[in-house]
Amino acid sequence: MRTTWFYELDWRQKLQISKLIMPVKDAIKDRLDGIPGRYISRQQNGQEFPIVDWTMVRHANGNNIGIVCPDCSALDGEENQLRFTLLRSPVYAWHDPAKLEDETFYRWTDQGEHAFRFFIWEDTTPYKLENLAISEHRQPICLDWTDGQKS
C-alpha cells in the first residue's frame, strides 16, 4: 500500500530548525537510510544523520515501512518516531564560534516557500525505495514536437 503526503511551508525563521515528526504504530528496531549509491543501518538513538532520498524502518515483528522523501536531507528518531529535518536557518557560511553582529546585514538560509513530498510504502525493500526515489527526481517530460499536418 502506498500513501502520499505533500507538505508546504513558508519559512521566515532565523537560527531555527524545522522538523516533521512522523509517528509509526510499532516500536522501531532500526532503520535503513539511503546514502549515495547504497544504504546503511542506523539505530533510533536521537542522533541526526544525513540521508539521500529514503529511509526504511524495521520493526521487531519483521514488518517494515519505507518512506521516500526526495526533498529531505537529514533524519533522526527515537522509539516509534521519525523526525525529518526540513529546513535550517543559519546565516550563510556562519560557523561557531563566530558572533553575529546586531547591526550587520546577513543572508539567511532556506528562507521562503518550500514543498516536501513523502511517499510511504508498507512491506517494501531498499531496491524498490531507491527506484521510486530516482523516478521522483527524473519525472517524465512530454513535448509535442509537431506543428500538426497540413491539409
Query: For residue 19, what are the CA distances in angstroms to 16, 48, 108, 145, 148?
Result: 10, 11, 18, 43, 50
Residue 129: inside a domain: yes
Residue 143: inside a domain: no
Amino acid identity at 148: G
Q: What predicted TM-score, i.e. pTM, was given to this entire model?
A: 0.84
SS3 130: helix
The verdict on whether omega for the bond into residue 126 sits within 30 degrees of 0, i.e. cis, is: no
CATH number assigned to the domain comprising residue 14: 2.70.98.30
Residue 38: inside a domain: yes
Residue 133: inside a domain: yes
Range of the domain at 6: 2-93+100-137
CB-CB contact of 28 with 79 (8 Å)? yes
> Which grid coordinates are listed for 34?
539511503
Question: Could you tell me which residues come within 8 angstroms of residue 21 by beta carbon, excluding any fewer than 6 positions away?
Answer: 81, 82, 83, 84
Q: Based on the structure, what is the number of domains in the chain?
A: 1
Residue 150: inside a domain: no
CB-CB contact of 119 with 67 (8 Å)? yes
Residue 27: inside a domain: yes
In whole angstroms, give the CA distance from residue 52 to residue 113: 21
Print pLDDT tens along the chain (151 aa). Answer: 678 889 899 999 999 999 999 998 888 988 999 999 899 999 999 999 999 999 999 988 888 999 999 999 999 999 899 999 999 999 998 888 889 998 999 999 999 999 999 999 998 999 999 999 988 888 777 766 666 666 6
